């Protein structure tokens, strides 16, 4: 570990910088049904491992502050509500540009980090509003498409949604898969669906949302992860945030191990995005520990790991305020914008 301030500790090592610079996009591979059918998940072992993740490591004091600063850079700051307006998106994007109060940045000696979130995630209708609010910031806009969250729109319409979001300027597209293909074991249909969506995205990166809370047993999650990666997904994502069960550490463990296996098979690094129900700084630390232990430090950057969250940033800011002052600030001291 390094000595010094949290700001110094978050700086990327040479090896991490090389990973970001040399990151090669997943091109996908032909569907390998043998690999899909060979999938096995030991449920009890997965549950035990997930439980021990939260107790094996304890990150405190300046080290916790450094991890939380890193977590900020990995957030896809999100608003996906029926009452989204241009003003609401503009306020969220202001927070994306300056996620931490300036007095906290100064106290943590983190000015050189130029903190910003990983992306701003909105519905297609709000893409242009987000782009206008983020102009000059280099923060990408991610759009949810393909009949989010259920993914039950006619397939041509879902492809058209992707095309329209890309044309509007979205750099990342979060798509939802057809859960029916997973539940019925129709892996060819899932592969072809994601492959066509990936082609529609063009240069925009595609994050495939599995909606794991609706897929049944963990081996379905593992199989769906494999198929989506073979079809060319840049990220695999746990949830839409609209299911009754969203991101859990058991699901995260299953998906990250499939990412590791795919890397060993193909050489491609695929990103991972847990989403839904991640609201506290403690949650963020648990997920970062999972990534560090299962995938290693090369995944601890926003090229390969993101949080999908709307309320997480507020609690991280609150915890950093406590680290600086020794007191928890009232909520109105950390408004969304």
Q: Determine the pLDDT at residue 23.
A: 75
In a domain, 15, yes or no: no
Q: Determine the pLDDT at residue 9.
A: 52
HSE of 87, CA atoms in CB hemisphere, 13 A: 1
In a domain, 2, yes or no: no
Q: At what angle do helices 281-294 and 312-325 cross, to 10 degrees?
A: 100
Catalytic residue among 174, 234, 283, 315: 174
In a domain, 149, yes or no: yes
174 is known as an active-site residue: yes
Order of strands, sheet of 205-209, starting from the edge strand that comes earlier in the sequence: 271-273, 235-237, 205-209, 172-176, 141-144, 119-123, 75-78, 307-309
pLDDT in tens, the chain (337 residues): 334 456 645 544 433 444 445 679 999 999 999 999 999 999 999 999 999 988 877 788 899 999 999 999 999 999 999 999 999 999 999 999 999 999 999 999 999 999 999 999 999 999 999 999 999 999 999 999 999 999 999 999 999 999 999 999 999 999 999 999 999 999 999 999 999 999 999 999 999 999 999 999 999 999 999 999 999 999 999 999 999 889 999 999 999 999 999 999 999 999 999 999 999 999 999 999 999 999 999 999 999 999 999 899 999 999 999 999 988 877 777 766 4
Q: Determine the pLDDT at residue 20.
A: 47
Structural domains of the chain, count: 1
Q: Determine the pLDDT at residue 16.
A: 43
* Residue 90 CA: distances (Å) to CA of 85, 281, 320: 9, 24, 24
- CATH code of 299's domain: 3.20.20.70
Measured CA to CA, the distance from residue 322 to residue 61 in angstroms comes to 10
Catalytic residue among 76, 207, 237, 315: 237
The reply to whether the predicted model has a pTM over 0.85 is yes
Q: What is the mean pLDDT of the chain?
A: 91
Catalytic residue among 76, 273, 283, 315: 273
In a domain, 227, yes or no: yes
Q: Determine the pLDDT at residue 213.
A: 95
In a domain, 21, yes or no: no
In a domain, 3, yes or no: no
Range of the domain at 301: 28-327
In a domain, 9, yes or no: no
Measured CA to CA, the distance from residue 246 to residue 251 in angstroms comes to 9
273 is known as an active-site residue: yes
Find the radius of gyration of the CA atoms of the chain.
19
User: What's the count of helices (H) and strands (E) in the chain, helices before strands?
Assistant: 15, 8
Measured CA to CA, the distance from residue 318 to residue 305 in angstroms comes to 22
- Please report which residue ranges of the chain form alpha helices under DSSP H: 6-9, 14-21, 33-37, 43-56, 61-72, 86-97, 102-107, 127-134, 155-168, 179-183, 187-201, 218-230, 249-266, 281-294, 312-325
In a domain, 7, yes or no: no
């Amino acid at each position: 570990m390094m000595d010094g301030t949290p700001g110094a500790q978050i700086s990327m090592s040479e090896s991490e910088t090389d990973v970001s610079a040399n990151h090669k996009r997943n091109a996908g591979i032909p569907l390998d049904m043998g690999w899909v059918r060979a999938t096995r998940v030991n449920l009890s072992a997965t549950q035990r491992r997930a439980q021990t993740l939260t107790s094996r490591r304890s990150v405190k004091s300046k080290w916790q502050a450094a991890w939380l600063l890193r977590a900020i850079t990995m957030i896809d700051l999100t608003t996906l509500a029926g009452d989204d307006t241009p003003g609401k998106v503009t306020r969220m994007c202001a927070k994306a540009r300056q996620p931490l109060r300036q007095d906290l940045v100064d106290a943590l000696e983190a000015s050189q980090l130029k903190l910003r979130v990983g992306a701003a995630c909105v519905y297609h209708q709000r893409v242009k509003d987000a782009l206008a609010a983020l102009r000059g910031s280099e923060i990408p806009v991610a759009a949810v498409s393909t009949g989010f969250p259920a993914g039950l729109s006619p397939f041509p319409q879902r492809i058209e949604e992707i095309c329209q979001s890309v044309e509007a300027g979205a750099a990342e597209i979060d798509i939802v898969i057809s859960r029916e293909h997973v539940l019925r074991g129709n892996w060819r249909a899932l592969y072809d669906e994601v492959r066509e969506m990936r082609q529609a995205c063009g240069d925009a990166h595609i994050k495939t949302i599995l909606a794991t809370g609706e897929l049944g047993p963990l081996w379905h999650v593992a199989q769906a992860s494999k198929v989506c990666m073979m079809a060319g997904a840049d990220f695999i994502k746990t949830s839409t945030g609209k299911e009754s069960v969203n991101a859990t550490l058991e699901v995260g463990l299953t998906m990250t191990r499939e990412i590791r296996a795919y890397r060993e098979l193909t050489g491609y690094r695929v990103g991972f995005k847990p989403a839904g129900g991640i609201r506290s700084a403690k949650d963020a630390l648990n997920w970062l520990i999972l990534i560090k232990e299962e995938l290693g430090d090369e995944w601890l950057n926003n090229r390969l790991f993101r949080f999908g969250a709307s309320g997480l940033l507020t609690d991280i800011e609150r915890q950093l305020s406590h680290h600086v002052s020794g007191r928890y600030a009232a909520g109105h001291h950390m408004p969304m914008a």
